[in-house]
Amino acid sequence: MITLSVLKESRQNERRVALTPDVAKQLIKKGFEVVVQTNAGNGSYFSDESYQAAGAIIATSSEQLFQSDVYLKVNVPTLEEVASMKEGAVSISLLYAYTQPALVEAFNKRRISSFAMDAVPRISRAQKMDALSSQANIAGYKAVIAGAERLGKIFPLMMTAAGTITPAKVLIFGAGVAGLQAIATAKRLGAVVEVSDVRPETKEQVESLGGRFLAVEGADEVKTEGGYAREVSAGFLAKQQELIRQKIKDADLVITTALVMGKKSPILVTEEMVQSMKDGSVIVDMAVESGGNCALSERGQTVVKHGVIIIGEDNLPSLLPVNSSQLYAVNISTLLLHLTSAEGFKWEMDEEITAGALITHQGALVHAFTRSILQRS
């Protein structure tokens, strides 16, 4: 029997949990034993009693919690947690290991096999394991709602006896999962939506949701991998920024989602552009955790610069913890069931999902992309 420990999240203001009671119950039926840290689900409104009703054990001591075979978290484990893990055990969480050299070293010292939910290959048969997509869907929705809450006007066209209210104009940068959900949400609220993306293949998706795609000359030269831009030239960025400069002046709400895998997010909205925007308009910088797409955004803060409200919330999924935890729990349990059999972990090292998500194993860094980034840093 494989024993799983669900650790309480230690990140500040984090309200998600790695496993929900209903998913824990399903895993228990499949032969796993589930141990849950006391109050691990409180932020998502899942009580210890709800886990016990599902058949899970509530850990009454640190020793009980850290005697398991597998440790599940949403966010990166702390160095103290890794030091307490059973040697040779398995850790599964969002990891972004190419930014965590000390953690990689700590895993290797204790021969912990670490799987990164953010490194699960974005292929069709792994869709149910894709935590980046599930959490980005929630974040894209919440970004629009957060922007709407701060915007001093309504989204839809409204005809009244006192006159007509024109619809809000929403400008979205990036048509990945988060951007597409933002488009759909803004359109449902009645806004006029324009979208810019470096990947020309997203045009059809944008238009299918009712958005207007803003094409940038030279976009067909941009290299992408796994849904992310891998290389964007200075010349292309200049063309994109010129287009933004023209459009941003009229926007009521701007949402930026642009990420570059393994690198700092590109600056798309300069201070000059912010100055050109209308007083009371809003920017939601969804890339703030990776450096930000707006030059004036501040991580974890909502600020007003040049009359523009700039929201730098760095953990949007945590603001909707019930749904984001439900989706993440399905992602992590699906991966876990893929990796194991009745006898334990299968360790199919050449299998695409295993090879893509496994970062450290038996005291070594085995993930090629992570190794290449850490060697350059």
Known catalytic residue at 122: yes
**Which residue in the list 110, 111, 122, 188 is annotated as catalytic?**
122
3-class secondary structure, 365:
strand
In contact, 258 and 266? CB cutoff 8 Å: yes
Quickly list DSSP for 102-122: HHHHHHHHTT-EEEEGGGS--
In contact, 342 and 315? CB cutoff 8 Å: no
The answer to whether the Cα torsion of 58, 63, 69, 72 is positive or negative is: positive
Show the beta-strand stretches assigned E in 57-183. 57-59, 70-72, 90-93, 113-116, 158-160, 163-165, 169-173
**Which residue in the list 48, 69, 130, 197 is annotated as catalytic?**
130
Distances in Å between the Cα of 82 and the Cα atoms of 35, 72, 94, 98 are: 17, 12, 14, 17
Known catalytic residue at 96: no
**Which residue in the list 110, 228, 276, 371 is annotated as catalytic?**
228
How many Å apart are CA 228 and CA 156, to the nearest integer? 32
**Which residue in the list 133, 134, 265, 326 is annotated as catalytic?**
133
Amino acid at 316: L
Question: H or E segment at 29?
Answer: helix 21-29
Known catalytic residue at 16: no
3-class secondary structure, 305:
strand
Known catalytic residue at 127: yes
CA angle (25, 27, 33) in 5-degree steps: 90
Q: Which residues partner with 159 through β-bridges?
A: 164
In the numeric block, the tokens 């969002």 are attached to 94
In the numeric block, the tokens 């050449």 are attached to 350
CA angle (59, 109, 11) in 5-degree steps: 50
**Which residue in the list 127, 208, 275, 362 is annotated as catalytic?**
127
How many Å apart are CA 363 and CA 358, to the nearest integer? 12
In contact, 139 and 286? CB cutoff 8 Å: yes
In the numeric block, the tokens 């090879």 are attached to 355
Catalytic residues: 122, 127, 130, 133, 228
